[in-house]
Structure 1
Amino acid sequence: MTSTQGAADGAPVHRLPVTPRAPAAPGRTEGLPSTFRAARPAQPAAGGHGVRAAAPLSDEDRGRLLDGAHHDPHGLLGAHPVRGGLLIRVLRPGAQRVTVLAKGLRADLLPEGDGLFAGVLPLRTVPDYELLVDYGDHAPTVHDPYRFLPALGELDLHLFGEGRHEELWQALGARIMDHQGVTGTRFTLWAPNARGVRVVGDFNYWDGTGHPMRSLGSSGVWELFLPGIGAGDLYKFEITRPDGTKTMRADPMARRTECPPATASVVDASHHRWTDEDWMARRGERPVHQAPFSVYEVHLPSWRPGLTYRQLAEQLPAYVKDLGFTHVEFMPVCEHPFGGSWGYQVTGFYAPTARMGTPDDFRQLIDALHRAGIGVLMDWVPAHFPRDDWALAEFDGRPLYEHQDPARAAHPDWGTLEFDYGRTEVRNFLVANAVYWCEEFHIDGLRVDAVASMLYLDYSREDGGWTPNVHGGREDLDAVAFLQEMNATVYRRCPGVVTIAEESTAWDGVTRATHHAGPGGFGGLGFGLKWNMGWMHDSLGYVSKEPVHRKYHHGEMTFSMIYAYSENYVLPISHDEVVHGKRALVSKMPGDWWQQRANHRAYLAFMWAHPGKQLLFMGQEFAQGAEWAESHGPDWWLLDPSYEAEADHRGVRDLVRDLNRHYAAAPALWERDTDPAGFSWIDGEASEDNVFSFLRFAADGSPLISVTNFSPVVRHAYRLGVPDHIPAWREVLNTDDPRYGGSGVTNPGPLTTEPTPWNGRTASVCTVLPPLASLWLRPS
């Protein structure tokens, strides 16, 4: 095949309409209109201006081309030198006449039937030419997409084939670009099992007959540059499967989508101008493990239902900043068809959901949060994907993104499919996706969902329902390698970003560096932090008990310190704990309404003082009593001044604000979260009292005391052993303060250190412990 030269500089750019015989409803993706078929003349006549009839296509080439099953349409269409001139052939279904226009040349091509037009022009070289396509009711002048060289380089294909293209979104998908002097969109798709691929969209009335793509060899990538196509155009790919049937698919690499339930991809280019340079330059100055890290988890569509990304940018940063959280964590924002999945069943891994606006609108929200000094974490879901027949499942007619083995492909719990982490291109798709969100959207951290389901071959599977790995074990070695590569790549490319594992088992080394081998023989997974599911389960179990029974469960609250430094932990009270009959946090607590709120407040202060970072789901910051539902979000009316119990809820929110304020001001609570020297029990054995008391230490040794009384009685003259070099202590936080809705039992003056041995220490202080409350004491 001989490629042609590009159009001259300044050549007009037009769209590429294809008019079917009968008007079709544009803009929809369901079904293809019937392809226009003109009568095929037996012997085309010679045209004017020296145009001669071209040698006809072979029946095989013609059939495959018109059926969308040809691997090299550019070898049949476009301009090609032949004996005696230049052959130009075009495929324009519905056209009545096609005229070639070039400098000093105007020549009509001869109809070959089925929308094909061709002719041999008396030219020795390929001119810069355009096509005047007459459809009867309109006749646009357009560039011929089949005169362009491939718009994807060999290096891109090589890196993708090796699974090492860390900016894959620059190579695959729909990308607006200038190519050979012409502006348009390059479409590229990985579909190695396809017999043919065509681009369909609103620009060709969802009939891709005239827009077949070419295969770029063994890479499995298909490519077509379409002049005149730009931002906002809808598109999909029509794939001819190995068995000859066809399927219409959304672009796996689409950076923008239609709003569900519509499923088309959208050509997009960002025009956002970031204003967070200071944030991006500073965010990596202090390691996250040695920094304050207090997270407000948000489901964006329901935080305040109906708000767009830009409206959220006007409200969310101010609210989070006022409460003092250092970070927000968005539940998944990647496009998903079913809102009830909360975003955990993703179909558009490279596109923020269109439910609240465009990708640039989402960038505006992140920009606003950064300007307010708030980091942005995002739930990321590489563990599985849904089976929708327009998305990834059996994408090109055979298992592609999912594992070839149906038993390994099917997720046993969620009715979804698991990725094939052993396939280099699939692993590349996911690793590049993690980098994409951090680089293109300035995301500060990825919380990786369902890591345990990825790590174990027998996850939720019965005996006999899984096959051991090559070493006879239950570990998924491909998933391990993928997670290690993802973490290593993100940390290398994106300074200041943290990755967080939701991993519910005792897998060794989740937050250990990938080059450090552990007892299991694997290197660390390389995450920065891990959700402490054990602490969450044990502590919620404890506080849900009646106080009279808590002494029998005392160890559930102290057990976490046995393994607290085995990983770098986050203490999560997430959305998962306040749905599906689990009740809201305050509703888990026993007793009447006052006791429930008191337990709630005491538990939050205990959590903020415990080693590890904190995460709290929206609504729990003001003691919402109802379970969360994505259909209406938090019960903001509880904070309406007209509501009779508004003060009860406002008091809890005031406490959360003060917790974050004191937390940020006390390095003892975050500077040595991963260092055993940063914690010491005062008394972890006071089960009869339902009391937990401990010391936290900053890097310079400055201490903070946390003591929690999980019983409903006031404990007078309660003695605590303390360091003897601190002469006095003052109460900096008391969850029983009347401002928070408490009973007002406080320690108003300095607590003098006395030379009375207690709790194995040579000195002590005498305190009053309020009922169902936590105290924080700092040196006076």
Structure 2
Amino acid sequence: MWEPPPSERYVMRHARPPRPANLKIYEAHLGIAGTEERIHTYLDFKDILPRIKRLGYNALQIMAVAEHANASSFGYQVTSFFAPSSRFGTPDELKELVDTAHAYGLTVLMDLVHSHCSSNQVDGIAAMDGTDHCYTHGGHKGKQDQWHASLFDYGKYEVLRFLLSNIRWWIEEYGFDGFRFGGVTSMLYISHGIGKHFGHDYHQYFGMDADTESGTYMMLANYLVKRLLPRSGLTIAEDFSSMPTLCRAVDDGGFGFDYNLSVNIPPMWAKLLQEQPDETWSVSRVVKNLQKRRFKEPCITFAESHDQAKAGARTLASNLMDAEMYAHMSIAGPESMVIERGLALHKMIRLVCMGLGGEGYLNFMGNEFAHPDFVDLPSEANGWSLQNAIRRFDLPQAEDLKYKFFEAFDEAMLALENRFKFMASPRYFCSRKDDSDKVVVFEHGDCLFVFNFHPKRSYTEYRVGHSWNENMRVVLDSDEPCFGGQDRLASAHETSFPPLDGWDSRYHSAEMFLPSRTVQVLVRESLLEGGVTVAWRILQ
């Protein structure tokens, strides 16, 4: 029980920031947010907030907030829904963390688990009245064998009251601005989506497998968040099925979420990197998968999240560089073709996801600098070890290591988006996705993105179509030395590209030099007057 005297209770001092139009989320697990082999705390994470702000993120998504007995579950086996996890500190220290994040202008989201509860009967709510159907369904219907969890019965009034009160509690007592609802696919379908392949047939979504009771709960939950926080509240769904109307307003008959997570994107990159040589990549298929989302239903895009960082999975960095990261990340050491390729593609993959994949962006902490190790939380299986329950924030600070190049590009990429806000623009068009040249060209908002994914070929005087009858300037170049690049485009930074005749269904075009495995972003010259000229200069 935590009940300090009124004089010792933390009082919120800072206003909530307004809902970001261009959401850029830093996903974090507080217990591993440090370099020491120990459980880190709410107050420890306060020291990480200036770094998150400096990098350019405007939202913090906190995992494992609600109390959970099994630390290795990443907080997804909740035992006490109204209690902040005591292993990270006191409730007032959580309030202090959220309030400090608000002071930095960060929207704070909670990873909310309302799709199930822990099946623990001693320290959880399962069978709390002696039956197997108090808050949950009884019998086999109340079990999710893949998660070893119990499933809520959303048809019961008291369950709705319990869960909706829980949402209000986290908002009003602890200052959270919104939630990432995990396991939404399991809630949407009586089959929990297991074994189903979702496509264009709407009967898959609205047939007899649809769980109308949990659907009603999600509509109520989203309606409540918007009523309590009309200016700042937002909700994100984790749905693998791409349920139609998931991100339409409740008043329009939708479920009311603001965003869906594009969970299909990380597996695409993993499959590509593990199974296909670079020369055989189909960039048109990559573009198709990145654009595969429903009209006017916003998505959060990401190349990887905590799911790819967990033990047994593989991050983008490990798929690209594997064991080479432990031997050839020194700037002074011998060059490695594996590291050179990994650095180049790591930058390109993250930017193509941000540029083409959705209306918001997410990164799991440490992946911005290609963290070399997976996350393995303490459990009986690993002897309760904390060896891999850390994040090496010291690596990008080391001047002699290449990790700083990964982080520098992440910062410049976010600076570009913060300056031109292309993710919030509904205007985007892909004019070229050439599987032979491995070139992708698209416009998003005021920005022109030009990717050359070819591992060997560089192109001179390559014709690139665009919409603007104006000189174009390079504002981001992945080949810059400050990003670990080869500086093959140095001359292009001080020159502009005059508009030429139309090309690739665009009114105008430019002739450009496209080095292999690089991306350039251009904007029209008039946008650079009276402000920061180019994003890459921020870091010089």
Deviation readout 1:587-613 (Å, 9 max, x if unpaired): 222761110111001111212222421
Given the superposition, is the C-alpha separation of residues 432 and 268 from structure 1 closer, same or farther in structure 2, using an over 3 Å criterion? farther
Which stretch shows the higher mean deviation, 763-772 or 502-511? 763-772
Where does 1:554-573 land on structure 2 (aligned, <5 Å)?
Answer: 554-563=284-293, 565-572=295-302, 573=304
- SS of the equivalent of 1:745 reads coil
Separation in 1 of the partners of 2:7 and 2:133? Answer: 28
Given the superposition, is the C-alpha separation of residues 723 and 554 from structure 1 closer, same or farther in structure 2, using an over 3 Å criterion? closer
- Does the CA-based 8 Å contact 2:300-2:360 persist in structure 1? yes
Where does 1:248-263 land on structure 2 (aligned, <5 Å)?
Answer: none
**Equivalences, count:** 482
AA in 1 matched with 2:344? A
Separation in 2 of the partners of 1:268 and 1:550? Answer: 62
- Does the CA-based 8 Å contact 1:751-1:765 persist in structure 2? no
Where does 1:331-730 land on structure 2 (aligned, <5 Å)?
Answer: 331-390=63-122, 391-459=124-192, 473-495=208-230, 496-516=232-252, 523-544=253-274, 545-551=276-282, 554-563=284-293, 565-572=295-302, 573-589=304-320, 592-610=338-356, 611-630=358-377, 631=386, 632-639=389-396, 641=398, 644=400, 646=401, 648-667=402-421, 669-672=422-425, 675=426, 678-684=427-433, 686-697=434-445, 703-713=446-456, 714-726=458-470, 728-730=471-473
Which residue number corresponds to residue 529 of structure 2? none
- Does the CA-based 8 Å contact 1:325-1:660 persist in structure 2? yes
Separation in 1 of the partners of 2:7 and 2:273? Answer: 50
TM-score w.r.t. structure 1 length?
0.59
Which residue number corresponds to residue 769 of structure 1? 514
Which residue number corresponds to residue 274 of structure 1? 12
AA in 2 matched with 1:680? F
Separation in 2 of the partners of 1:476 and 1:564? Answer: 21
TM-superposed CA distance for 1:400, in Å, is 4.2
Separation in 2 of the partners of 1:332 and 1:299? Answer: 7
Separation in 2 of the partners of 1:440 and 1:492? Answer: 16
AA in 1 matched with 2:359? G
Which residue number corresponds to residue 54 of structure 2? 322
Alignment root-mean-square deviation, CA? 2.5
AA in 1 matched with 2:31? P
TM-superposed CA distance for 1:751, in Å, is 3.1
Moved over 4 A (4+): 267-270, 460-463
AA in 2 matched with 1:458? S
TM-superposed CA distance for 1:418, in Å, is 0.3
Gaps of 5+ in 2: 197-205, 322-336, 378-385, 526-540
TM-superposed CA distance for 1:543, in Å, is 5.0
- Does the CA-based 8 Å contact 2:39-2:87 persist in structure 1? no
Separation in 2 of the partners of 1:231 and 1:515? Answer: 40
Where does 1:35-114 land on structure 2 (aligned, <5 Å)?
Answer: none
TM-score w.r.t. structure 2 length?
0.84
TM-superposed CA distance for 1:695, in Å, is 0.6
- SS of the equivalent of 1:347 reads strand
Gaps of 5+ in 1: 1-173, 175-229, 233-266, 464-470, 517-522, 698-702
Given the superposition, is the C-alpha separation of residues 601 and 560 from structure 1 closer, same or farther in structure 2, using an over 3 Å criterion? closer
Separation in 2 of the partners of 1:272 and 1:359? Answer: 9
TM-superposed CA distance for 1:771, in Å, is 2.2
TM-superposed CA distance for 1:689, in Å, is 1.4
AA in 2 matched with 1:622? F
- Does the CA-based 8 Å contact 1:298-1:329 persist in structure 2? yes
Computing the radius of gyration from Cα coordinates, the structure with the larger value is 1
Verify: 1:736 aligned to 2:490, yes or no: no
Given the superposition, is the C-alpha separation of residues 766 and 751 from structure 1 closer, same or farther in structure 2, using an over 3 Å criterion? farther
- SS of the equivalent of 2:264 reads helix
Given the superposition, is the C-alpha separation of residues 724 and 328 from structure 1 closer, same or farther in structure 2, using an over 3 Å criterion? closer
- SS of the equivalent of 1:515 reads helix
Given the superposition, is the C-alpha separation of residues 323 and 724 from structure 1 closer, same or farther in structure 2, using an over 3 Å criterion? closer
TM-superposed CA distance for 1:430, in Å, is 0.5
Given the superposition, is the C-alpha separation of residues 306 and 581 from structure 1 closer, same or farther in structure 2, using an over 3 Å criterion? closer
Which residue number corresponds to residue 218 of structure 1? none
- Does the CA-based 8 Å contact 2:473-2:524 persist in structure 1? yes
Deviation readout 1:395-418 (Å, 9 max, x if unpaired): 111134443431210112111100
Deviation readout 1:559-601 (Å, 9 max, x if unpaired): 3325353521001321012224331211222761110111001
Separation in 1 of the partners of 2:251 and 2:351? Answer: 37
TM-superposed CA distance for 1:270, in Å, is 7.8
- Does the CA-based 8 Å contact 2:72-2:376 persist in structure 1? no
Separation in 1 of the partners of 2:158 and 2:70? Answer: 27
- Does the CA-based 8 Å contact 2:185-2:193 persist in structure 1? no
More strand by share: 1
- Does the CA-based 8 Å contact 1:499-1:529 persist in structure 2? yes
Which residue number corresponds to residue 383 of structure 2? none
Which residue number corresponds to residue 500 of structure 2? 755
State the percentage of identical aligned residues: 25
Given the superposition, is the C-alpha separation of residues 318 and 742 from structure 1 closer, same or farther in structure 2, using an over 3 Å criterion? same
Which residue number corresponds to residue 778 of structure 1? 523
Given the superposition, is the C-alpha separation of residues 601 and 405 from structure 1 closer, same or farther in structure 2, using an over 3 Å criterion? same
- SS of the equivalent of 1:563 reads coil
TM-superposed CA distance for 1:526, in Å, is 0.8
- Does the CA-based 8 Å contact 1:711-1:772 persist in structure 2? yes
TM-superposed CA distance for 1:452, in Å, is 0.3
More helix by share: 2
Separation in 2 of the partners of 1:760 and 1:460? Answer: 40
TM-superposed CA distance for 1:505, in Å, is 0.4
